[in-house]
Chains A and B, each alone.
Chain A
Amino acid sequence: MDDNNKPGPLRSRPTMRELVYFCVISLVLLVSLAIAPAKNYFSEWRHYQKSYLAIAGQRQSGTLVRSFQGGLHQTWIAKLGVVDRCESCHVNLSGALVGASEQPFRKHPPMPHKLDEFGCVICHRGQGPATSVKEAHYTTEAWEQPLLPARFLESGCGQCHLGPLQGAPRLNEGRSLLSSMGCVHCHTVAQPDGNVLKPDDNPPPLTHIAEKTSREWIYAWIKNPQLYAGSATMPNFQLNDQDAADISAFLIAQSSASPASGTETKTVATAAPSANASIEAATLYGASFCSSCHAIQNEAGNLVGGNLGPELTRVGSKVNPDWLRRWLDNPSSYHPGTRMPHYRMDQKQVALLSGFLLAKKDNDYLANVHLAPASADSIARGKKLVAETGCAACHQINGVNPPQNFAPDLTLVGSRALAQVVFAPGMKHNLPDYIAAKIHDPRSFGPGLKMPKFALGDSQVDELTTALLAQTDRAAGFPKELIISGGRTTNYHPGGKAGRLMEDLRCLSCHAINGNGGDMAPDLTWEGSAVQHTWLEDFLKNPNTLRPALIRRMPKFNLTPDEIKTVTDYITSAYQSPALDLQPLDPHVLNADAAGRGKQLFYSKYGCQSCHIADYKNDKGYVGPALTSVGNRLTPEWTYNWLKEPNAFRPATLMPNFSLKDDEARDLTAFLMTLKAKQGGGK
């Protein structure tokens, strides 16, 4: 049996060593199989759900515990591209468990949208699909979208709400800064509905600059605009002395003669400057309401006045006296696009006011500026610098075309991939910090960068960042019905002879008409329906104020009777509201009985005297316009319709809608129409 000596077939007992190998491998296999379920079991979200149930159990909220559904909670909104699992840990967003004050169980504060319609990441950013705290909230290697800091949260709103939005003041302010600081001269910012933000800072043309100021002033100004006027919006280009000298040389050299330069201004030989003259001049400055648009720093260092025009604190160190007189005489012959009205001052007034302004002088301002005479080289170099610096993006300059695509398009800056972003050394790698740093100090990213440094406070930087973070590619893909466009300004301009006159007076700098114009003064779209012809004539002749407490008021324009008639006729016939025809008022009902009842309503039921003055002796309401002579001012039809629904005529009005009954509105109208005191107060 040779066969017996042969080595046994496969059937043999495994050695000890083989057994150990086998055990270890099985164990490893078993363990590795268990990793997945264990990871799931020990996951953070499960831990949080357990603690939630524990708290709910302590509070003995049986219903909460019973109704709780464990597991990953996912919100999926296909049309918005949202996949959120935030509610796996944030299980109490609805606030069902009262008083849980620690995250992740805090109740979500009230908000305008439903969670299951918009999800979380649309507003908060972060990684919706992530299931660990770190990956959901912070930047990791695989995820680059951290949670948005609270101060930029309103950028979420701005993705769909493209106009001003109540409850998002920082977003609104940021957007208006993009226009008012002139950012959008160089950067394109287009919104998802196609609207492109427009600048509204109205930089002056430099084509005739040599008439206006000196090369020394230009030099000092471009070196540091805020040194001349703290409120200046022009940014600091951090130019060195040589560059500033060359640019100023070129700007003077390119200047051509303005159409105004031909007009001779007589330095009227007013009586020797007396104490009276300076008082008279200050009075004229006040009575012309220059401070509605221009600010002057007072002795305490506070700016007093508006910001529609440049600050005038040191204007005497800036302007050429001849230029100033011509400017006051007619601003638009120097700057056709100016917002300053043509005041129609006489020579004496021009002399008084220019004297007053020229005295606003800082003798130290240009004391240390000594420039070498401009050479051809310096001028040529200045021209090159002006082109490189992009001055012509904002200012009109002879011989330099406005640059195209001068700065990066910011339309989608709010979702720029971090991989494409070059961070400055030492800064945090996230988009909000990058944008904020870029706005705060652009040159910190490298000395050769073109973007200048704007004079912005910390909160303004945050507001601008908020507005820019709203420019996401996510929003560009949203369904069109979600996008809520802002009210766009029209390009309405009054036409004809009256229109030209109204342009000359720059009515639209302060008043809006048909969706175009400023917001400093009342909207005039329906002014023709509102006011009586005679009153308007008197008002334009001498605009005494309707609102005694207001500081910004309508100036007096020294119009001729003909001009007044032209404007009045135009306003009363062109600016009529069709809504008045829908609710006509029979003038016969405005009788003494009705007026008596109206007086009762005015004083007792509706307390109108808390905001209006009907009688100077007793009433003290300073919120709305004085009504002492409203019977001469407003038409009865307008008064009746206005009382019934003020916000239908002027959406921005402060006057509440009292939802008056027809007869109440009629009685009040009757009462108001009896108020015909002489204008200017008194009885």
Chain B
Amino acid sequence: MKLLRIAMFVLAVLLGGCKPSGPQTLKPAAYGTQIVEVSGGKQWAQVGSALPQPVVLQVNSADGNPVTGALVVFHGNGLEFNPPQTLTDSSGQVTVSVQLGFNPGDFQVIAETPKSGGGNATVNLREIALGYEQAVGKAVNDKYCIRCHDPESTPERVSNHDNLSPAPHQFTDGATLNRISDADLTNMIAHGGPALGKSPQMPAYAATLKPAEIKAVLSYIRSIADPPYQAPGVKYGK
């Protein structure tokens, strides 16, 4: 056993010694003091697929000006980045495409940039992976719910959100929807707004959607909620 440990130690030292010839670390040409998100946080895509939009970040100096040539390194459990590290461009920004991992739920993008005095400035972004159930929910959402619950319009689909009073809640509105229990939300989808004393403008979908579809919509709503939804119950560490 001891021999094995020694062997492993030697191997580790050897590998460590080899490192400079392995993956090249880019040399930063400049250093910033903070890194901020420009765009690309809180997106969702199906498990294993790339986010629809790249993540764009900016490195700033102490006086708030963008820094060109600062090194930004990305990591995140289960995520793949292309490129995994890069230098900021002439406007102090980096653009990275992110591919989500295998499991539905939240992923954290962590971007680090070294500071001149040592240490790193970091920024964390939340990205959301949709599994099978959430994908079904999204399909139902895209057909039925989105017309009123999403204020964004496209040429094929004009949003009805702003015509309604009271305005429907967006599904990302975690502050409101996280407070409503699964049972109540299911009830509202199945039996309409009046089932919980809300507006009759929310129709009942019990005869249109299958119970599994309603459950899927609920799962979709919970997964894209911002702030994130915490299911009630006991929490365990890893």
Enumerate chain A interface residues (CB-CB to B < 8 A).
59, 98-102, 106, 109-112, 149-153, 166-170, 304, 458-459, 462, 549-552, 604-607, 609-611, 620-623, 647, 654, 656-659
Contact = CB atoms under 8 A, between A and B. Distances in A.
B101 A550 contact: no
Closest 7 CB pairs of A and B: A150-B48, A99-B236, A620-B163, A610-B201, A151-B48, A167-B136, A549-B158
Contacts of A552: 156
A621 B163 contact: yes
A459 B50 contact: yes
Nearest to A603: B200
Contact of B148 (A153, A550, A610): A610
B206 interface: yes
A393 to B, nearest CB: 31
A656 B148 contact: no
A106 B47 CA distance: 15
Contacts of A166: 136, 139-140, 213
A169 B143 contact: no
Nearest to B233: A98
Contacts of B193: 607
Contacts of B160: 610-611, 620-623
13 contacts: A98-B234, A101-B238, A150-B48, A151-B99, A167-B136, A169-B138, A549-B158, A552-B156, A605-B200, A611-B147, A656-B203, A658-B203, A659-B206
A604 B207 CA distance: 20
Contacts of B183: none
A534 to B, nearest CB: 29
A149 B48 contact: yes
B49 A459 contact: yes
A481 B193 CA distance: 41
Contact of B46 (A59, A170, A656): A170
B226 interface: no
B216 interface: yes
Contacts of B199: 607
Interface stretch (B2-10, B58-66, B127-135): B127-135
Contact of B203 (A112, A167, A604, A607): A607
A100 B163 CA distance: 45
Given A110-B133, A607-B203, A656-B204, A622 B163 contact: yes
Given A110-B219, A605-B200, A623-B148, A167 B132 contact: yes
Given A99-B236, A621-B160, A169 B46 contact: yes
**What class of interface size applies to chain B in its complex with A?**
35 or more
A74 B214 CA distance: 34
Contacts of B49: 150-151, 170, 459, 462
A111 B104 CA distance: 12
A458 B164 contact: no
Contacts of A658: 203-204, 207
Nearest to A102: B238
B39 interface: no
Interface in B14-62: 46-50
B47 to A, nearest CB: 5
Contacts of B237: 99
A109 B133 contact: yes
B231 to A, nearest CB: 10
B236 A550 contact: no
Given A109-B103, A110-B133, A622-B163, A656 B200 contact: no
Given A169-B135, A551-B155, A623-B147, A99 B235 contact: yes
B145 to A, nearest CB: 10
Contacts of A656: 144, 203-205, 207-208
B196 to A, nearest CB: 14
A100 B234 CA distance: 12
Contacts of B110: none
Contacts of A170: 46, 49
A151 B51 CA distance: 12
A304 B235 CA distance: 50
A59 B235 CA distance: 11
A156 to B, nearest CB: 10
Interface in B204-226: 204-208, 212-213, 216, 219
Nearest to B143: A654
Contact of A550 (B143, B158, B164, B194): B158
Contacts of B156: 551-552
A360 B187 CA distance: 54
B135 A607 contact: no
A152 B46 CA distance: 11
A166 B212 CA distance: 12
Contact of A109 (B104, B205, B233): B104
Which one of A152, A167, A606, A658 has the highest number of Cβ atoms from chain B below 10 Å of its Cβ? Answer: A167
A458 B50 CA distance: 9
B96 interface: no
A647 B144 CA distance: 13
A101 B235 CA distance: 11
Contact of B139 (A169, A604, A654): A169
Nearest to B235: A99
B202 interface: yes
Contacts of A604: 200
A605 B46 CA distance: 38
A407 B168 CA distance: 52
Given A99-B235, A458-B50, A623-B160, 18 more contacts: A99-B234, A109-B104, A109-B133, A110-B131, A151-B48, A169-B46, A169-B139, A462-B49, A551-B155, A605-B200, A607-B193, A607-B200, A607-B201, A622-B160, A647-B208, A656-B205, A658-B203, A658-B207
A149 B99 CA distance: 11
A387 B200 CA distance: 65
Interface in B127-185: 131-133, 135-136, 138-140, 143-144, 147-148, 155-156, 158, 160, 163-164
